[in-house]
Amino acid sequence: MIRPRRNRKSEAIRSMVRETSVSLSSFIYPLFVFEGNGTKIPIASMPGIYRWSAEEVLKEIEECVQLGIQSFVLFPVFPDAQKDKLATKSFAEDNFYLHLITTIKKHFPQVALMSDVAMDPYSSDGHDGLVIDGEIVNDETLPILANMSVAQAQAGIDIIGPSDMMDGRVGFIRDALDQAGYENVSILSYTAKYASACYGPFREALDSAPRSGDKKTYQMDPANRIEALRELTLDLNEGADMVMVKPATLYLDIIREIKDHSDVPVAAYNVSGEYAMVKAAAQNGWLDNDRMMHEMLLSISRAGADIILTYFAKEYAQKFK
């Protein structure tokens, strides 16, 4: 008789036939940063995750590096007083985020540092693009994103992460980087970013929720799969070095679809809401935190993600190294 259970009879055999694994080298750890010193501020809906002051974040990165994490993505938090319609602060001389990029790369030249490119942290409208008469306009947004990208490249960023979902922005940013002499700066495009309910805790962390309306005219409809392939074709043609699906676990089919159709590495963003769901259930004693964390990351990797952006990165490294 054919018995699949023979391959499951001991841990030695199970690990011998195991098809996927989660590796620390595939992690990109998101860090929220603000201007200031000596403090870290907890985020209520994301237990274990903080907003780090520019000074404190260096210690956090040091700890993570010791644990074996090599890549980070930085999200800046700006006070309302520094926001305006044109996201002017995003490429201003006195933007702490740009200085922090330089400082981190100076202290940790070996880490891969990724940025966020979108207007929302700097915009008084709280949208990823420029708002004119209530409309999020596309083409007028592109030069702003390009200025932001070039400023980040100048600061020393390794990977630009456009999360804005404007049409044509990968090509536009690529051209701007090349023209400014940053042909070695990579672009990891948020290729299939869905208009998801899972971003709530992140917007709380950044205080970046849209002041009016929603993001449905630029982020993708959660009902659509084939449209993700259209976005993929565009991003590859425009020169994306890596592509991303976001969120991750509710979109495992999309990760697989994108993986099967692309010849560049595929990333998945295990977003704030996915993290919050596990933490909330675990805090109630309803689910086992460590097993959920492991299974969640494993499922993303099994779906085809080569790279995982996850708030679990440090905890996973601490517990499963």
Nearest to 127 by CA among 189, 212, 220, 206: 212
DSSP H/E element including 321 = none
Least distance in Å: CB of 118 to ligand PBG? 3
**Binding string, residues 136-175; x marks residues near ligand PBG by CB under 6 A:** ---------------------------x------------
128 binds ligand PBG (CB under 6 A): yes
What's at 175, amino acid-wise? D
27 binds ligand PBG (CB under 6 A): no
What's at 272, amino acid-wise? S
Least distance in Å: CB of 17 to ligand PBG? 34
Asked if 261 contacts 306 with a C-beta cutoff of 8 angstroms, the reply is no
Stretch that binds ligand PBG, among 88-96, 196-204, 223-231, 280-288 (CB under 6 A): 196-204
Query: Rounded to the nearest 5 degrees, what angle is found at the Cα of 40, between the Cα atoms of 35 and 42?
Result: 120
Q: CB count, 10 Å around CB of 41?
A: 14
Angstrom CA distances, 126 to 103, 121, 123, 146, 198, stand at 28, 7, 5, 19, 17
Least distance in Å: CB of 308 to ligand PBG? 12
Least distance in Å: CB of 272 to ligand PBG? 3
Least distance in Å: CB of 300 to ligand PBG? 14
* Distance in angstroms (rounded) separating the CA atoms of residues 44 and 42: 6
249 binds ligand PBG (CB under 6 A): no
Asked if 258 contacts 192 with a C-beta cutoff of 8 angstroms, the reply is yes
| Binds ligand PBG (CB under 6 A): choice among 40, 85, 99, 203 | 203
CA Rg, the chain, in Å?
A: 20
29 binds ligand PBG (CB under 6 A): no
Catalytic residue among 89, 193, 279, 314: 193
118 binds ligand PBG (CB under 6 A): yes
Asked if 72 contacts 60 with a C-beta cutoff of 8 angstroms, the reply is no
* Distance in angstroms (rounded) separating the CA atoms of residues 156 and 144: 19
Asked if 278 contacts 289 with a C-beta cutoff of 8 angstroms, the reply is yes
Residue with smaller CB distance to ligand PBG, 26 or 272: 272
Instruction: Spell out the SS3 assignment of 113-140.
Output: EECCECCCCCECCCCCCEEECCEEECCC
* Distance in angstroms (rounded) separating the CA atoms of residues 22 and 45: 25
Give yes or no: 193 in active site: yes
Stretch that binds ligand PBG, among 83-91, 116-124, 152-160, 235-243 (CB under 6 A): 116-124
Give yes or no: 216 in active site: no
Residues numbered 207-226 forming contacts with ligand PBG, rule: CB under 6 A = 215
Residue with smaller CB distance to ligand PBG, 50 or 202: 202
**Binding string, residues 253-282; x marks residues near ligand PBG by CB under 6 A:** ------------------xx----------
Catalytic residue among 83, 215, 246, 314: 246
Residues forming the site for ligand PBG (CB under 6 A): 116, 118, 120, 128, 163, 199, 202-203, 215, 271-272
Catalytic residues: 193, 246
